Amino acid sequence: MEGTLFIEVGILIFLIILVRVFYLIHKITTGNTKIYPKRMKPAKTLICIGSGGHTTEMLTLMESLDFSNYTSRHYIMASSDSTSISKVNTFESHINKGKYSIKRIPRSRHVHQSYISSVFTTIYATLHCIPVVLRLRPDLILCNGPGTCIPICIVAFIMKVAFLCDTKIVFIESFCRTQTFSLSGKILIYVADNILVQWPSLKRKLKRSDYIGQLM
């Protein structure tokens, strides 16, 4: 009898979690997201950095920000990314506003890696992201397509499901995506609060996205 009770409670908890997940996805994908009041203090911001063009695009986007409203800033990049650290440090030395940190996580998908094997590397990267996101509890996540952003956003979404934080996720689709969304974009469509695109053709494919023009 006691064992049956535990099973029933477990099923009930699972159903509650499932309803919460589908509720959040529905609210995000239909555009009925929470209207955030004007912030009275800076947003703790987590920036997902890719490599090469992704890094350049993200830093170009950030040049237009009022950095007094986005601090502290925490840059997340793949542990195998050897070029982005110097770019971020140079960028931060120029703006010289507020604290920032750089954190490394395992790469979720390598170039030309098969989609099947990338499932396992993404799970591995996600597990490494859990303590990072739990510790930081960012108010805002900015990402623009590198695979590194997927585990970070997944963990942030799970924390939102569990009422542990209310992180706003903003995804900027890469400049090179003119007709179709990237794999990251296709995944984050369901969890990102805001989708920003750089080409009108993508705006037509996803009505809730915002067209911001070309950054590059």
The answer on pLDDT for 33 being more than 60 is no
Hey, is 45 helix, strand or coil?
A: strand
Mean of per-residue pLDDT scores for the chain: 88
Q: Is the peptide bond before 72 cis (omega within 30 degrees of 0)?
A: yes
Interval 163-181 mean pLDDT: 92
Interval 177-206 mean pLDDT: 92
Token couple for 171: 């995804």
Hey, is 22 helix, strand or coil?
A: helix
Which burial class, exposed, middle or buried, applies to 44 when counting CB atoms under 10 A from its CB (0-12, 13-18, 19+)?
A: middle
pLDDT-derived band at 103, boundaries 50, 70, 90: very high
In this predicted structure, what is the pLDDT of residue 96?
77
In this predicted structure, what is the pLDDT of residue 82?
82
- Which run of H or E residues covers position 11? helix 2-29
Q: Mind giving me the DSSP string for 114-152?
A: -HHHHHHHHHHHHHHHHHHHHHH--SEEEE-S-TTHHHH
- Which run of H or E residues covers position 197? strand 194-197
Interval 51-67 mean pLDDT: 87
Q: Can you give the pTM of this predicted structure?
A: 0.89
Contact yes or no for 133/156 (Cβ under 8 A): yes
In this predicted structure, what is the pLDDT of residue 68?
87
In this predicted structure, what is the pLDDT of residue 64?
85
In this predicted structure, what is the pLDDT of residue 39?
72
3-state helix, strand, coil in the chain (%, to 5): 45, 15, 40
Of all residues in the chain, what percent carry a pLDDT higher than 70? 94
Rounded Cα–Cα distance for residues 133 and 130 (Å):
5
Nearest CA among 116, 176, 182, 106 for reference residue 148 = 106
Interval 7-33 mean pLDDT: 88
Interval 161-168 mean pLDDT: 93
DSSP summary character for residue 42:
P
Domains of the chain, CATH where assigned: 33-211 (3.40.50.2000)
Q: Among positive and negative, which fits the CA dihedral 56, 61, 64, 66?
A: negative
Interval 77-83 mean pLDDT: 87
Interval 114-138 mean pLDDT: 89
Q: Mind giving me the DSSP string for 80-103?
A: T--SHHHHHHHHHHHH--S-EEEE
